[in-house]
Structure 1
Amino acid sequence: MEDNPTDHASTMEDNPTDHASTSTAMPQANVEIHAEGDVVDQIDGTGSPSSQIQVNVKIVFSPGSRKYYVPICEPSLKPYVGQKFPDLDTGIEFYRRYAANCGFDIRLGTSRRARDNTIKKKYVFCSREGEKYTTPSGKISDTQAQKSSTTSKSNDVQSEMSPINKSNDMQVEKSTRNRPTTRLGCETRIIFDLSTYSTFVVAIFEEQHNHPLCSERYRQFLKTNRNMNPGHQSFVLNCAKVNMGPTKSFRLYREIVGDYSSIGCTSVEFKNFGRDLKAYTEGCDAQMILDNLCSKRELSSAFFFDFDTDDNDQLTRLFWADPISRRNYAAFGDVVSFDATYSTNRYNLIFAPFTGIDNHRRIVTFGAGLLSKEDSDSYAWLIGKFKECMGRQPLMITTDQDLGMRKAIESVLPDTRHRYCMWHIDKKITERVPQCKNAESSFRAKINEVIWSDLLEPSEFEKAWGDVLTEFNLNNHTWLGKIFEVRHNWILAYFRDNPMSGLARTTSISESVNSFFDKYLNRSSNLVEFFMKYDNAIAAQRHAQDKLNSETTISIPAMKTQLPIERHAMELYTSRIFIDVQEEISAACFSCTILAIRNEGSSCTYQISDGTSTVEVVYDSVEDSYTCSCRKYVRWGLLCRHIFVLFKERKVRFIPDKYIVSRWTKNALNTVSLTSGLNIIEKTDPLEKHKIVLGQLYSEFYHTIGVVGNDTETLESIMRSLKDHRERKSNVDTSQNTKRRLFEDHFGAQVPDKGSVTIHPPAPVHNKGSGKRIKSAAEIAFENSKKTLRLCRKCNQRTNHDSRNCDKFTGSANRTTDTNTDVSLED
């Protein structure tokens, strides 16, 4: 066979029939035929046996004693000269299946085209065709260059003193990586010619290989057998939704199919497909998410979103909230937590969710936004859109101590009480206060008792705060002095009279929100992937809420008393809230005592002791109202034990309607749905229906497999049925099984043409929370204390240095030799 396939093609084109007959009629000295399963020596590239493999080939010896391997397969899989195909792709695919069955890879070669650019001739080779490229003559090889650089010292001195210009020196070839080759000059090939009837005919078919064929065990690694079919692709896409990368997806797929050889590809193909997934939306992900949000608004008029762009039409601000989020806000939006989260997307946009507490005391999301800047204008825009969407201001909003947030809230939510998040401040106390003080358990206990108490009056807090700082000699601490100056914005004592302020006392809101979304979002996601993962996170959150609603409907907790009011509370509140109310009712019966009663006109004041403190409860007979000095009902919307004492004393059998706050009841969401007018879904999404049917199919399939068990005959019947459906669908329309369709179904939006993109992705920004987190000195010291010290190979001590910067041996300009050994210190 000629080295140049083009020249070879010219020879064949003159007389393809004669060439075909001569190329296959190789002179043979003898022939050895091996049946399937025979064991023969595997010959490496040098002609020597390297290992033994199982083969299904005919081994032919040429007159020069060179071995050739002719694969043996079913006649229906083997091409032949004169075989016709309706198009070129069908012919190549037929030859590809033949190669995969026989144990070798193929490579597409030269195409000959007519003047109208129609392919007239196509070459397809064995992947081991050709030879490895060798270094052109006239240059020094790597070995020669190494020898040239290790000449004697006298020659080096002479060369340095020589007046010869260095540019005249012999050029040294650039060092390259020593990569192995698979090219062995194999002459196996097939040539397709275009016939007069627009079909392609096999003109030449050469099947003899000059190398052993791949055994059955290793054929899974051939490129022809490593294909990402639509099933693989759908699996990778579904794993991406739950923040699972290609490598983990590959391992999970292996567990499903049972063996690596049954996968049909390797982890490389999974990674490449993940790469293609990101490249698919490059430059148009902002336009895609806006198109997707528009389609959601068409399905439901209650879906709300708005965005803003810069002068370059790049997305800079975005807010969105679906109907369920708006319904949740109508039910539980009295106190809102607003926190900026970072490292959730590749553009470093700030992710700012609006969250609250539902009737199970779990986190619930009201809406979210993306911002490119952390200034007051950006926060004001986002909070303004949140207010426009929800239609009313919350009673209270909690944030961190960001100045931009504070200015935005003052301007946009003037009637909302702003409170700093206790979780952030409590973390900073640990970092800012000297370590010696934090190490004292009494300091932490006393400071927590002061800042977390909701029973102290403001004056009582100020006195207790001063006593703690005086006891631990912290009166002159700068940071503690600063946070004391803003105590009205975070200390619970100053919020005792604010309705539902107890919800802001929950320390874990910000921490829970960050932890929750961290499980779904990552910093490498583009905007389309971000929204897809955000939707999955919200779906998981709502699934957990539905589960709690179901449990609270069917479960009946045990009663602690015989009072009818306890059973009424059980029927009224969710299980989580009833536990707290039940505790108050039980304490009213067994822990509280009426110390004194004082009548003043229509009101009656009761002095009640609960074992730890004494409070006063005032009952007004005209208003039929109860007021307790502990203020728990004001802060939480739940009655305290002291009022339950009076209910017990006055034989009240049911909790009065005026003291039932609907946000804690079982029917909180149902009541809102009837009064808010928010239609969750107005139109049916065909894609959602498809997902439901597909989910039911998966569930039924795995259920059936589990029921069948070890019945191999039934499993084979199911497999035949599935193959029949697949082949019928492939014959009807193969274009549907493309990456584009899968990607569009996966993202829920079509990729727009480059010319139709009007909103461009934002430029990557650098905000104060972006990138690597800056750690405090205390955190760094704590982490360093856990690390194992290095072992210096020079001083043989475990310390914070190594042999390169050992203080014991540095400082001298000239390196010396260790007198105790024969080895230089540099060595």
Structure 2
Amino acid sequence: MIFETVDKVKEFYKQYAIRCGFGVRVRSSSKGEDNKLCFVKLVCSCEGNYVSTIPPELKSQPTKTKNYGAQITVVKKGGQWHIKNVILDHNHDLSPMKSRMIRGNKKLNIQVKRTLDMNDETGVRINKSFQSLVCDVGRFENLPFVKRDVRNYIGRQRRALGKEGDDQALMAHFSHMRQMNNDFYFEINFDDNNRISNVFWVDVRSRAACEEFGDVVSFDTTYLTNKYDMPFAPFVGVNHHDKSPDGILTDQCRAMQNAIDIVFPNTPHGWCLWHLMKSIHENLQGYTHYKTIKTKLKTLVYESLNVHQFESGWQQLMNDHDLDNNDWLGTLYEERKRWVPCYLKGNFLAGMSTTQRSEGLNAFFDGFINSITTLQ
């Protein structure tokens, strides 16, 4: 068989699995030289060997999952997906009538979700909503989900951002601020379910300060994460009456680095030295001479007066302790111009090597907000 896309392959095998009475998951996949998917293996959800972490003496019936063989393998050739290998046999009993109970086969479609949302808004209890859905299809077995799935969905919706009026209150407040001054700026992004995914705002005074005195900006995303799993990430500027080259200081985050390279290609970007030094223990503690390595590394970073001294000292450290194969140190060395002080002498960072100013402002916010504070 031949399919146009890998998604059609997955849907076809999933529908086959539902009819037969088993679940499906992706066992393995790989990409080609063009970094695009070219191979996928789909297997029965019971496939694989699993040994419980609970000691056998504490279990009344110790179990071990068998290595079931049912699977299909598909490869991409000439823009289409071809089934390369098929194994239909299972080492367990199949139950088509109970297929809907398998996790991967459960599904709440858009119509069901809309009905549940409307019922919940009007105060209808969850068990009554579920009973109404059963009545619509005639019997429990005709529903591709169970009551627990309904309860979980309603729970997620109640916790969703905007359910408590945050989104309306936020929009009203921002609109009011915009009416007071057209230079107030805000941006709100929504996800596929029309719920707020992130918010950015900046008042007029901050915009003016950034334009006139924005010598250096510190951006810290490690601060408070609220009830919606959204971090509160303030931009902290360093004001100075001399117009100096712009600079930005963040922790070691690849995503932020990529974004800064695109949006601010001419802005010197430094990494927080304190965060890097703090991670030494996590990445090097397994070495026999860890304490010696740590001391030498800190001395090398903080006391190297020039690039040549750092380069020769780094190579000596790698040779003395056989550290050439350490991936973490290799990455740090490749990005040394972002965090080693002797490389940053030509960049203006207002005397900062850490995001300490951001953390200082975080302490200010602690007096007003906490992890359960809503956007409103």
Superposition TM-score, scaled by structure 2 size = 0.49
TM-score where L is the length of structure 1: 0.24
